[in-house]
């Protein structure tokens, strides 16, 4: 095992469990001590805990630890009922692990429905929340806050280093990646949140046929630029999810040369895909092409809105440049 991997394991929190407890073939995300002690990470937990307690104060519910208090679905049930103004038909008291799992699953199904999130694309799951996965819990609570109380001032650009452990036949494999918890830019507020929303959101209010026409135009544009590399794209969501084609496209359009050591040409794990997409978004941000926050995890998870939003920013810049180049010069007076 490499020294860096060994060091990472030594930094894992005790609650992550010993490596021997990880069944072969399974993966587990862990937060190293440096991530847990990050001031912005702590501030995010503090803000979310204060928000939950203010919402549930009339019910005399107090949350003292997001990691320990949210796993069984009880507090999530009361929080969702307060935010959504509804009543969930679930067990009032769940004492056994089996009943707690059932209750949590029912609560998450209701939450995902309200958020419009497909279960397989969510950054949380019943198993993750039930196992007291702090990252998954935070992703869920941030999503609830953004949906039901967008004026809540969450700290901006909270990003933490994550260690993913995988048990293989040859031993324990570890890899590091960065995970974005809140959007880049200023904190969400009632004055700034709406104007700074993704400008591509408005296009989804257009008739479906116009959205489809725009999507086809973007595919044609992308394929024109990738033709010289012998590549073509038919499905935007799936083919851009690993970041490879996105990086190659940015290189073609923006004149970047990316050394193969800087990204994974054939990514074989979620962490490698996340690395590629994060690098692509950083390049776009440096070029001033991202006027709205985009989560790399959304693109890796094949979220259509996020993927199209990124491609739309490239499409607008370079299509306008091409159209301007085609205009005939003004005739002299």
What single-letter DSSP state applies at residue 295? Answer: -
Q: What is the pLDDT of residues 237-274, one digit of tens each?
A: 889 999 999 999 998 888 877 788 889 999 988 888 98
Q: How far apart are CA 239 and CA 107, in angstroms?
A: 33
Task: Judge whether residue 100 has pLDDT over 80.
Answer: yes
Do residues 177 and 275 make contact, with C-beta atoms less than 8 angstroms apart?
yes
3-class secondary-structure state, position 165 = strand
The arithmetic mean of pLDDT across residues 4-9, rounded, is: 40
Using pLDDT thresholds of 50, 70 and 90, give the confidence band for residue 138. very high
27-30 sheet: strands from edge to edge: 27-30, 159-168, 171-180
Is there a common fold for 3-180 and 199-321? yes
> Could you give the residue ranges of the DSSP H alpha helices within 149-243?
208-226, 236-239
The first and second tokens of residue 142, run together, are 């941030």
| Class of CATH domain 3-180 | mainly alpha
3-class secondary-structure state, position 157 = coil
CATH topology (fold) of 199-321: Actin-binding Protein, T-fimbrin; domain 1 (1.10.418)
Percent of the chain, pLDDT > 90? 19
Do residues 72 and 94 make contact, with C-beta atoms less than 8 angstroms apart?
yes
What single-letter DSSP state applies at residue 169? Answer: T
> Could you give the residue ranges of the DSSP H alpha helices within 243-303?
244-254, 270-286, 296-300
Percent of the chain, pLDDT > 70? 80
Looking at every residue in the chain, the average pLDDT score rounds to: 79
3-class secondary-structure state, position 234 = coil
Q: What is the pLDDT of residues 160-181, one digit of tens each?
A: 888 888 877 777 788 888 888 9
Measured CA to CA in angstroms, residue 123 lies from 289, 293, 299, 323 at distances of: 26, 17, 12, 40
Q: Which residue has the higher pLDDT, 119 or 163?
A: 163
Name the helix (H) or strand (E) containing 56.
helix 39-56
Task: Judge whether residue 7 has pLDDT over 60.
Answer: no
The arithmetic mean of pLDDT across residues 102-122, rounded, is: 87
Task: Judge whether residue 326 has pLDDT over 60.
Answer: no
pLDDT at site 207: 65
Q: What is the pLDDT of residues 9-44, one digit of tens each?
A: 434 444 443 344 666 667 778 888 888 898 999 999
Using pLDDT thresholds of 50, 70 and 90, give the confidence band for residue 189. very low
Burial 276-313 (b: 16+ CB within 10 A, else e): bbbbbbebbeeeebbebbbbbbbbbbbbeebbbbbbbb
- Main-chain dihedrals φ then ψ at residue 174, nearest 5 degrees: -125, 145
Unique residue bearing structure tokens 């397989």: 120
Domain boundaries of the chain, sorted by first residue: 3-180, 199-321
pLDDT at site 205: 56
What single-letter DSSP state applies at residue 150? Answer: T
Region class of 168: left (phi > 0), else alpha (psi between -120 and 50), else beta: beta
pLDDT at site 321: 60
Name the helix (H) or strand (E) containing 180.
strand 171-180
pLDDT at site 239: 93
Q: What is the pLDDT of residues 42-98, one digit of tens each?
A: 999 999 999 999 898 888 888 889 988 888 888 898 999 988 888 888 777 777 888
The first and second tokens of residue 224, run together, are 């024109």
The arithmetic mean of pLDDT across residues 103-111, rounded, is: 90
Q: What is the pLDDT of residues 194-225, one digit of tens each?
A: 444 444 555 555 567 777 888 888 899 999 99
Unique residue bearing structure tokens 């796993």: 71
Burial class of residue 31 in the structure, from the number of CB atoms within 10 Å of its CB (0-12 exposed, 13-18 middle, 19+ buried): buried
199 CB contacts (<8 Å, ≥6 apart)? 291, 292
Task: Judge whether residue 143 has pLDDT over 50.
Answer: yes
Measured CA to CA in angstroms, residue 101 lies from 18, 126, 289, 320 at distances of: 24, 7, 43, 53
Name the helix (H) or strand (E) containing 113.
helix 97-115
pTM of the model: 0.52
pLDDT at site 16: 40
């Amino acid at each position: 095992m490499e020294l860096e991997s060994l060091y990472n394991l030594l930094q894992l929190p005790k609650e992550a469990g010993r490596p021997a407890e990880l069944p072969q073939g399974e993966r587990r995300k862990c937060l190293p001590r440096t991530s847990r002690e990050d001031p912005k990470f702590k501030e995010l937990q503090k803000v979310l805990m204060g928000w939950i307690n203010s919402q549930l104060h009339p019910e005399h519910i107090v949350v003292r630890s997001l990691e320990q208090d949210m796993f069984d679905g009880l507090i999530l049930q009361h929080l969702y009922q307060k935010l959504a103004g509804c009543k969930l038909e679930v067990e009032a008291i769940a004492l056994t692990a089996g009943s707690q799992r059932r209750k949590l699953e029912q609560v998450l199904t209701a939450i995902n429905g309200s958020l419009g999130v497909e279960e397989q694309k969510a950054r949380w799951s019943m198993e993750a929340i039930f196992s007291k996965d702090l990252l998954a819990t935070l992703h869920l609570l941030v999503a609830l806050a953004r949906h039901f109380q967008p004026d809540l001032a969450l700290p901006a650009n909270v990003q933490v280093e994550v260690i993913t452990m995988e048990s293989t036949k040859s031993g324990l494999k570890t890899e590091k990646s960065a995970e974005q918890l809140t959007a880049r830019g200023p904190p969400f507020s009632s004055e700034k949140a709406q104007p700074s929303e993704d400008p591509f959101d408005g296009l989804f209010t257009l008739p479906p046929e116009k959205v489809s026409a725009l999507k086809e135009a973007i595919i044609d544009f992308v394929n024109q630029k990738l033709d010289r590399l012998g590549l073509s794209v038919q499905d935007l969501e799936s083919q851009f999810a690993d970041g490879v084609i996105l990086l190659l496209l940015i290189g073609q359009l923006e004149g970047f040369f990316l050394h193969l050591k800087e990204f994974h040409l054939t990514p074989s794990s979620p962490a490698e895909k996340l690395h590629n997409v994060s690098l692509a978004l950083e390049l776009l941000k440096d070029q001033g092409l991202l006027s709205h926050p985009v989560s790399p995890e959304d693109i890796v998870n094949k979220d259509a809105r996020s993927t199209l939003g990124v491609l739309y920013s490239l499409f607008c810049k370079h299509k306008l440049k091409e159209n301007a180049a085609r205009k005939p010069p003004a005739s002299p007076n």
